[in-house]
Amino acid sequence: MSRKKLFALDAAFSAITNLFELLVVEFFLYGTARIVVPLLSFGRIVVGDFYLEEPGFNWFGLKRREDGRYQMSRDAGKWSAVVFWVLCLTAYAVYARGF
């Protein structure tokens, strides 16, 4: 194949993987965080909006809101969702599979 065709295929593959990352990974983890974080914190912590870039978060990704609750940054929320799913897979492997 010529270089131009390889470059076009590389660009198309990159666009598809970026779309997959945005749609599946980002929204899935963000949606998980929007559900799990308030449940586990009994409503004291909420995850911020997906497209809203707000300054003022501390090192843990939290800041206090005016109503007394904490707001978690979306990136910290996605990391908490990753931890949640890793713990779920570990629990499945230990209890269901007997590892």
Tell me, what's the pLDDT at 99? 66
pLDDT in tens, 7-23: 777 788 888 888 887 87
β-bridge pairing 45-47 and 62-64: unpaired
Please give the model's pTM, rounded to 2 decimal places.
Answer: 0.72
pLDDT in tens, 56-70: 788 888 898 889 899
CA 69 → CA 40, 90, 91, distances in Å?
A: 14, 31, 30
Tell me, what's the pLDDT at 1? 66
